[in-house]
Copies of this chain bind each other. A is one copy, B any other.
Amino acid sequence: MEFSSKLIEKAVNEISQLPGIGKRSALRLVLHLLKQPKEQTGFLAQALVNMREDIKYCTNCHNISDSTICEICANKNRNHQIVCVVEDIRDVMAIENTGQFRGVYHVLGGKISPIDGVGPSQLRIATLVEKVKSGSINEVIFALSSTMEGDTTNFYIYKQIADAAIVISTIARGIAVGDELEYADEVTLGRSILQRVPFEKSFKNN
């Protein structure tokens, strides 16, 4: 792509480094910004810089936060003895949206993935093991996605905390609510039969 303006070229190159945005889409975004008032671009740039510069991570659970202890960890009404292990802030948001979990989180910041060059040392695993060893936790719930990487990460952590006197659980796998049985894959359907639950439990919350 040849541009008639170096400024456009530079902006397009920077935008197209973002995942899922190619040069054409980047040019479309740039032309959109040019049609909007100058302030909009200013606000966008400022929000990005502020976000990147001032973002903090909760020292307890490593979730993204505006303060050194996030709102969830600072909440005394939550059960700090139950820790849900998740990959990133999106998973925290998704679980919070269900309104079913009153414990706290531990955000790993990724999954073990040799292909992407992510090893255990790049994840926040050590602090989780410490928490468990300190004896302040009753239960660890693994809530990583059930992929190869997720399972590997679960197992890696499990091996380090298996001898602690705590409950180690994982979120239930099964047929999604509203899904048709016939379209489910065999592994999921198989697990949902093996891990069947008492019927009375299935329509009660908690």
Stretch from A38-46, A165-173, A186-194 forming part of the interface with B: A38-46
Which residues of chain A from 23 to 38 have any CB-CB distance to chain B below 8 Å in the complex? 25, 27-34, 38
- Name the residue of chain B whose CB is nearest to the CB of A17: B40
Closest to A58 in B: B4
A64–B8 CB distance below 8 A: yes
Which of B4, B6, B38, B49 is A52 in contact with, Cβ under 8 Å? B38
Kindly list chain B residues whose C-beta atoms are within 8 Å of the C-beta of A3.
Answer: 93
State whether A90 touches B7 (Cβ < 8 A).
no
Number of interface residues of A (CB under 8 A): 59
**Main SS of chain A's interface residues?**
helix
* Partner among B13, B15, B27, B51 whose Cβ is within 8 Å of the Cβ of A7: B51
Contacts of A125 in B (CB 8 A): none
Q: Determine if A157 is an interface residue (Cβ-Cβ < 8 Å).
A: no
Check if A55 is an interface residue, CB within 8 A of chain B.
yes
A28-B19, A88-B31 known; A7+B66 contact, CB < 8 A: yes
Q: Decide if A121 is an interface residue (CB 8 Å cutoff).
A: no
Could you tell me if B88 and A51 are in contact, using CB atoms closer than 8 angstroms?
no
Q: Is A92 an interface residue (CB 8 A)?
A: yes
Residues of B within 8 A of A27 (CB): 90
A66-B6, A92-B4 are known contacts. Are A29 and B18 too (CB-CB below 8 A)?
A: yes
A5 contact set on B, CB distance < 8 A? 55-56, 64-66
Q: Which residues of B contact A148 (CB under 8 A)?
A: none
Query: CA–CA, A107 to B112, complex, Å?
Result: 51
Closest 3 CB pairs of A and B: A45-B45, A41-B52, A11-B51
Interface residues of A (CB under 8 A from B): 1-8, 10-11, 13-15, 17-21, 25, 27-34, 38, 40-56, 63-66, 70-72, 88-90, 92-93, 96-97
